[in-house]
Structure 1
């Protein structure tokens, strides 16, 4: 072997043994880039997560702990009682059971009526009416009024307004004891809640209706489809995602009704219209049995979470099928 070839082999071996300068330089660069991304993520997400943890997570897990104690919400004496609070709720607390069943009944009625009224108003406004912008504002306006104020306004309407109309017209509907009887008081709460919530649901349905392709609707009408057939076979499948959202919102809001129930009837007459949220509030902050109130709230949370998860999963499957 010549000296020239030996020299080439020695140089190539020496070159292979040298460290990769570019690779060694890229490692610190990649690390600094990841650190920079992590720092930006912590900068933007950190304050929001900290606020969420302080306002939601810490109180939630603290409440879960108190659900297994006999704390009265005032003193510092907290004793662990295990499942005794839950046993009491399911065996002895008849008012809790009554409020739970009444809330389920109210939720079923409010969900159906709110969605029907909201969808009907959206269909009305989606027509080419000259006053559609004014109607949209009028229908949405009740949603801007707070529940407590709304309850006191309708309390005056049910007691004074309906009484005056009944005397002038003689119509028996306006002469009923709307807030003095168990059945009429329940329907009074339903009327106020639907009147308040239908406007917001209307906007969601209206946005979905405006995205329905008009060429498909026109083609169906040319083929002889009636308005009901267009609504059933074209419009409803197209607005299925909006139905999922509206059902989720109405289920959660109906289960959590509190302010209208408090200001309109305060659970009366004789606690016959006391919904579950008002029952929890009364137990924890009026009767000073915070542990039992937290146990009720925990059961309430689990039931609402399970129902909403089941509802979303079912309606999502319906969307795919349609």
Structure 2
């Protein structure tokens, strides 16, 4: 009985806090998505009108397009970079532990602070460096270009996200028995053969985790965009999260953006489930 009461005393407060600050607001947001609530004043039920309007909203569709492009490119690049870094850090080199701590440092830094630093780099340092070296591409501020600004956001997001992915890949590499590589050396296998036949298949479960987590994080990108471009130039780098925030809390579209948020939640869950099914099949192979 004492164990039972101790369990309840630990679980009930945590459940109450979680329900109050997470579950209840989520349920409330879903309810308001079926109304015309502006965030203040009176409201009326409108049914599925808000949901139907999302699919007819050019700004929302543009934000979805940018977010998907950003998330797909960012997920691919961050996993490639993280795996390469993990392979390098897993090698028998000097100062390996120090380098691991150094590579993890970006992950613990404030996203907004890092974003403003990168904004200064893209706006001032790189153009000045490009002018001095005579490199035309670097001499212009890519954050001011509607066609190139998203590249700057990808660079920032990948730089900061690579640390967490690298940590997971290092955990995966530590589970591989060195005897497998020794046997491969005896058979005359080269570096590429050892990677493709031994390393990659054995870290496949960690690849699955990294792909799903990275895609989810990039789809929910907010802080990096706010600090770096503010969604501009124009609306060229406006993500769904930023659109929902601006419309819901600044534009009097609380109910409409609540519907948008529900749709986006379903999209993220669907993408994550598809990734898990596809990548888990790859693990079996």
| Equivalent position of 2:190 in the other structure | 226
| Equivalent position of 1:62 in the other structure | 28
| Equivalent position of 1:39 in the other structure | 5
Question: Which structure 2 residues correspond to residues 126-205 of structure 1 after superposition, within 5 A?
Answer: 126-205=90-169
In the alignment, the residues of structure 1 paired with residue 96 and residue 138 of structure 2 have an alpha-carbon distance, to the nearest angstrom, of 31
In the alignment, the residues of structure 2 paired with residue 133 and residue 188 of structure 1 have an alpha-carbon distance, to the nearest angstrom, of 30
In the superposition, the TM-score normalised over structure 1's length comes to: 0.86
What is the deviation of 1:56?
1.1
What is the deviation of 1:78?
1.9
What is the deviation of 1:39?
2.7
Question: Which structure 2 residues correspond to residues 82-93 of structure 1 after superposition, within 5 A?
Answer: 82-91=47-56, 93=57
Deviations 1:39-84 (A, max 9, x none): 3332221111111111111011111001111111122x12111111
Question: Which structure 2 residues correspond to residues 1-322 of structure 1 after superposition, within 5 A?
Answer: 38-75=4-41, 77-91=42-56, 93-319=57-283, 321-322=284-285
In the alignment, the residues of structure 2 paired with residue 295 and residue 46 of structure 1 have an alpha-carbon distance, to the nearest angstrom, of 31
Deviations 1:275-307 (A, max 9, x none): 111111111011111001101100010000111
Aligned partner of residue 169 in structure 2, secondary structure: helix
- Decide which structure has the larger Cα Rg and report it: 1
In the alignment, the residues of structure 2 paired with residue 227 and residue 71 of structure 1 have an alpha-carbon distance, to the nearest angstrom, of 61
In the alignment, the residues of structure 2 paired with residue 318 and residue 51 of structure 1 have an alpha-carbon distance, to the nearest angstrom, of 39
In the alignment, the residues of structure 2 paired with residue 225 and residue 45 of structure 1 have an alpha-carbon distance, to the nearest angstrom, of 54
In the alignment, the residues of structure 2 paired with residue 163 and residue 137 of structure 1 have an alpha-carbon distance, to the nearest angstrom, of 31
In the alignment, the residues of structure 2 paired with residue 240 and residue 204 of structure 1 have an alpha-carbon distance, to the nearest angstrom, of 11
In the superposition, the TM-score normalised over structure 2's length comes to: 0.96
**Aligned residue pairs, count:** 285
5+ unaligned residues in a row in structure 1: which ranges?
1-34
Whether the 8 Å CA contact 1:189–1:260 is kept in 2: the answer is: yes
Whether the 8 Å CA contact 1:177–1:184 is kept in 2: the answer is: no
Larger RCO of the pair (alpha carbons < 8 Å, separation 6+): 2
Deviations 1:160-193 (A, max 9, x none): 1112211221122311331111121010000000
What is the CA RMSD across the aligned residues, in angstroms? 1.3
In the alignment, the residues of structure 2 paired with residue 242 and residue 231 of structure 1 have an alpha-carbon distance, to the nearest angstrom, of 15
